A and B are shown apart, each in its own frame.
Chain A
Amino acid sequence: MADATGVLVVAQTAGEDLNTTAQELLEAGRGVADALGEELSVGVLGQSVEQAARQAIQGGADRVYAVTNPLLADYQADLYLAAIETLCRETSPNVVLIGRTEEGRELAPRLAFRLGVGLAQDCLEVSVDPDTKRLLANRPVYGGNAVAVVSCEYTPQIAAVRPKVYEPGEPDPSRQGEVVSFPVDLDASQAKNRILERVEEESTGVKLEDARVVVSGGRGLGGPEPFEGLEELAKLLGGALGASRAAVDSGWIPIAYQVGLTGKSITPDLYITVAISGASQHMAGCSGAKVIVAINKDAEANIFKEARYGVVGDWQQVVPAFQEAVRELTQA
């Protein structure tokens, strides 16, 4: 694909709207497209996508491909992949950006292999090398202990961008762009696997990924009961409860609460960790937190190297007094 040009964002919808990750990708994609002096296109997949297409243009796209087929109404990996592959083959983009969402985790690698090209996985930043004009991607490796800068040797250059690291831009209602209808041929038999059942287990209340305040507990809590106390504290702060993998593996709390490399990535303004040591794999999920607070009895714990504020002490003494003072301050 020698004449490949342009940046293509693969967008998902939430109902009729462009989802948040797609809006973030538009922001990342606009930066890359401008640095390359190329156009920014967005492929919106679904059954009918007019509203999302309009939002994509207001969010910075020069062109939108409305990739439609009745079989795209519900997400199925094999069908979505076939649609994206067709879009890439027919529009020959130079760069493809996909969100590393639940779906993107599977789609991005499979797309790269189908096209015989490389994928920069789990990127925290995408930019353009001013000399070579190739895409540069920063990504955590070795459990967050190190950062790698990678580039893709083949075209299209594909990057899976971690959600929540780019902020969606302000929509500009006056922006103009082209909407290209792109119906795709799909056959139900292309879907190899079937989802038999989908079960939602997460508790009600503020979603961990969207919470402005998160309170997490670790192995040092010693059992499941203390999590009830922490949940109360989280509610008091208008936030959500989280946990380390050690607490999850101990069976004290479901995996939906796990923060970290193999759990959820969170970006709260305030992240309070209780009895968590601060292993790199845990920190990899909260590098986007603005202020980290550590409550831990071990002054040498790594978490104090990452925290803005810390209390060295037993949580059983620190947390109740902290919670009481918070109650007085916030309800006064």
Chain B
Amino acid sequence: MPLKIAVLAKQVIDPEMPATAFQVDSGAKKVVTPPSIAPVVNGFDENAVEAALLIKDSQEAAVTVISSGTSFAMDVMKKPLSMGADELVLLQDDAFQNTIDSFFTAQVLAAAIRKLDGFDLVICGRQASDWDNAQVPLGVAEILGVSCIALCRKVEVKDGTVVAECTTPAGYTVNEAPLPALVTVSNELGQPRYPTLRGIMAATRKNPTTWTAADLGLDLEELQPRVSLRELFIPQRIQECEIIEGDDAADAGRQLAFKLREAKLI
């Protein structure tokens, strides 16, 4: 029996867009971006795809990527398929708004995982680079009632358990949990592989499965938001920078030291 892996991947606004392109509509409490900025697969979720494919490199495994949203850029969301994932499931419904409320999103994703033909391991990114919540995976694990290991940089599966190395502030820990389990991964897992030409061709031929709220049997009334957004704004920076000059760069460096001494900072 192949190991069944589900990867949760979100489509987000490119977090590395130029700061000048980042705008907030404070009335609508929404981030607005110019159409020239294409969305991307959340960076940590590409790491999650990579973690799944690394497992698949060494044992028989089937990787299903799941994403929830109101609309998708198909070329963007097919990237995990072209990297080597087997299937893509898009949870698409007007109700699946990109909300700051993790409760709702976690319920939707957990319902989709339950609808799969079983699962052994769920792999998520550590956080989505829009709301930076770092909550959805832990919520999904709670709803599914499975063990979870957060912030992994290495994930291995053997004999019905997952063994993972996790980053801690001072180093790392090695953790073990029985399957089924959920893990979240960080960028330390390593660079996601590039799609190969063959992978890209295979991905163009694959059609994603699409499920709506009704397909998932969700009662939206039950899923009232737990967190609401009161305000959204761009913080004002009031810092005035004093540029330290000198005869040349080295002298400017010396002048900087004098300046910091004068300000009693060193």
Contacts and interface: CB of A to CB of B under 8 A. Distances in A.
Q: Determine if chain A interacts with chain B.
A: yes
Nearest to B233: A147
B253 A321 contact: yes
A152 B226 contact: yes
Contacts of A256: 169-171
A142 B32 CA distance: 12
A318 B254 CA distance: 8
A130 to B, nearest CB: 13
B226 A293 contact: no
Interface size of B as a range:
35 or more
- Which 7 pairs across A and B sit closest by C-beta, in order of nearness? A118-B226, A313-B249, A325-B257, A192-B147, A193-B177, A322-B253, A321-B253
B205 interface: no
Given A118-B101, A153-B225, A193 B174 contact: no
Contacts of B233: 146-147
Interface in A248-297: 249, 255-256, 261-262, 264, 269-270, 279-281, 291-295
Given A102-B168, A193-B148, A262-B187, 4 more contacts: A110-B141, A119-B135, A269-B265, A270-B260
A313 to B, nearest CB: 3
Interface residues of A, number: 87
A133 interface: no
B150 A122 contact: no
Interface string B209-230: 0000000000000001111111
A83 to B, nearest CB: 16
Given A119-B102, A326-B266, A145 B22 contact: yes
Contacts, number: 252
A31 interface: no
Interface in B180-212: 181, 186-188
The prevalent SS among residues of A at the interface is mixed
Query: Which of B225, B231, B244, B256 has the largest number of chain A CB atoms within 10 A?
Result: B256
B244 A309 contact: yes
6 contacts: A146-B22, A151-B228, A196-B173, A202-B170, A245-B187, A262-B126
Contacts of A281: 15
B157 to A, nearest CB: 14
A136 B229 CA distance: 10
Contacts of A106: 138, 148, 150
Query: Which of A113, A279, A292 has the largest number of chain B CB atoms within 10 A?
Result: A113
A140 interface: yes
Interface in A199-243: 199-202, 209, 213, 237
A310 B148 CA distance: 45
Contact of A262 (B139, B168, B186): B186
Contact of B237 (A146, A305, A312, A319): A305
Contact of B177 (A119, A192, A305): A192
The prevalent SS among residues of B at the interface is mixed
Nearest to B149: A193
Given A143-B129, A145-B234, A313-B249, A306 B227 contact: no
A325 B139 contact: no
Interface string B143-164: 1000111110000000000010
B263 interface: yes
A153 B19 contact: no
Contacts of A80: none
Contact of A321 (B132, B254, B263): B254
Given A106-B150, A113-B138, A305-B241, A153 B226 contact: yes
A174 interface: no
Interface string A185-198: 00000001111111
Contacts of A13: none
A324 interface: yes
Contacts of A117: 226
B263 A291 contact: yes
